Amino acid sequence: MIIILDKKDCVGCGACANRCPKQCIAMKEDSEGFVYPNIDKEMCINCGLCERVCPVINLPKHREVQSVYACYNRDEKVRMNSSSGGCFSLLADYTLKQNGYVVGAAFDTDLSVHHILINTVEDLALLRGSKYLQSRMGNIYSLVQEVLEKGELILFSGTPCQVAGLKTFLGREYDNLFAVDLVCHGVPSPKVYREKLSEVEEKIGEKVVNVNFRDKTSGWNGFNLIFAGEKKLVKEVKQESSYMQAFLKNISVRPSCSVCRYNNEHSSADLTIADYWGVETKFPELSDNKGVTVVLVNTVKGDRLFDQVKKNAAVWKSDFTHAAQHNFAMKNIGALHPARKEFFARLGTENMDILVPELIKKFKNDK
């Protein structure tokens, strides 16, 4: 039976809960809003299956990145609605057109975020774009296994630890499974996100019905966050958004992100996608500020898949050193911010727009 002594040792993937034959593991939020397994010890039969599928107990192996590309989707609308260059949509669209399934993070009607499985091109928009909070996995791993066992093609997308969790959950390779992960420096707490939504709702006097974490109307580099009601909206510039600053400075992220064992050369995915920040320093023709995805090819299978989508994409061959030059998380793991503890202690009692800058300033001065 899984016992978590240090919160850094659980990524919240839910592989254990998906695997438990007695269904005695529930994923429950802690006081910070991150999910951890909660085991009903009365029901547990000590079979050890939860430990066998845990990606923290069974760490992925080191693997060299095989090749690196700069890529954008030639469909302008899709590119503009994507976080980077819209390459995820190219991979997903190709899979759906092969009658396959795609799994990824989507907003629910209450604007929470969880992983879903789709099989129509119309539903692809639900998965498009980054949602900056930890996505709930529910029973998605079990569902993926069921579909794979029927011989159907699946493209699974998620953070590197979610892909690692899928791989340990499945316990064997499937030829009909392709996995794509993201370069990921951390995931914010769903509780912080809910708090942000309620602060915005108080400000605009109505329910938020739409969230966009990567609005590109001011360009890809200086993107905005948009929280929209039916009549009013709040638009925050990335650098000035308290939500985004708490995320980027590792104030609101999960403890396990400070010891991440799944990024880049420890990825379990066939392909890894990320923002190609600084792309124009190598390819000046890509300086239109509309977004470029960097694609890391990790496996032969990934190479095969990317080859299929290249014809609908604008693609340039690059290299890891250049791609990582302006992308911190491609080579580094960020420590948790010293203000993190105080932030969570005061969350919910003080407005985030005041609290976050105050804490950032305070801990800068304390250094």
Ligand X SMILES: Cc1cc2nc3c(=O)[nH]c(=O)nc-3n(C[C@H](O)[C@H](O)[C@H](O)COP(=O)(O)OP(=O)(O)OC[C@H]3O[C@@H](n4cnc5c(N)ncnc54)[C@H](O)[C@@H]3O)c2cc1C
Site membership for ligand X, residue 273 (CB under 6 A): yes
Under DSSP, the state recorded for 337 is P
Site membership for ligand SF4, residue 46 (CB under 6 A): yes
Measured from the CB atom, the residue of 47 and 345 that comes closer to ligand SF4 is 47
Write down the H helix ranges in the chain: 15-19, 49-52, 76-80, 87-97, 124-127, 140-149, 160-170, 190-204, 242-248, 300-309, 320-325, 340-346, 352-366
The number of angstroms, rounded, from the C-alpha of 217 to the middle of its chain's C-alpha atoms is 22
Site mask for ligand X (CB under 6 A), range 183-222, x = bound: xxx-x-----------------------------------
Measured from the CB atom, the residue of 325 and 351 that comes closer to ligand X is 325
Site membership for ligand SF4, residue 256 (CB under 6 A): yes
- Euclidean distance between CA atoms 204 and 227, whole angstroms: 10
Figure out which of the listed residues 15, 192, 352, 356 binds ligand SF4, where binding follows CB under 6 A.
15
Site membership for ligand SF4, residue 140 (CB under 6 A): no
Site membership for ligand X, residue 320 (CB under 6 A): no
- Euclidean distance between CA atoms 182 and 219, whole angstroms: 21
- Using DSSP's 3-state secondary structure scheme, residue 116 falls into strand
Q: Give every CB contact of residue 273 below 8 A, 6+ residues apart in sequence.
A: 84, 87, 88, 180, 181, 182, 183, 293, 294, 295, 296
Site membership for ligand SF4, residue 165 (CB under 6 A): yes
Contact partner, 183, from ligand SF4, ligand X, none, Cβ < 5-8 Å per class: ligand X
Site membership for ligand X, residue 268 (CB under 6 A): no
Tell me how far, at minimum, the Cβ of 12 lies from ligand X, in Å: 11
**Cβ neighbours of 39 (radius 10 Å):** 19
Residues at the contact surface with ligand SF4, assessed by CB under 6 A: 1-2, 10-16, 20, 22, 24-25, 37, 39, 44-50, 53-56, 159-161, 165, 184-187, 254, 256-257, 260, 262-263
